[in-house]
Amino acid sequence: MPRPVLTARDLEAIPNGGETTVAPDALITPLAAEEAAARNITIRVKEKQEKAYDAWTAAAATPRRVVAIGADHGGFELKQQLIGHLRDWGCAVLDQGTDSTAPVDYPDFAEAVANAVARGDAWRGIVVDGAGIGSAIAANKVPGARAALCYDRATARNSREHNDANVLSLGARLLSPETAREIVAVWLEAEFGGGRHQGRVDKIRAIEARHGKK
> What is the distance, to the nearest Å, from the Cα of residue 113 to the centroid of all Cα atoms in its chain?
14
**Active-site residue (options: 85, 162, 197, 211):** 162
Cα(160)–Cα(158) distance, rounded to whole angstroms? 5
Q: Is 162 a catalytic residue?
A: yes
Cα(72)–Cα(132) distance, rounded to whole angstroms? 10
Cα(122)–Cα(188) distance, rounded to whole angstroms? 13
**DSSP class per residue in 122-178:** -SEEEEEESSSHHHHHHHTTSTT--EEE--SHHHHHHHHHTT---EEEEETTTS-HH
Give the active site residues: 162
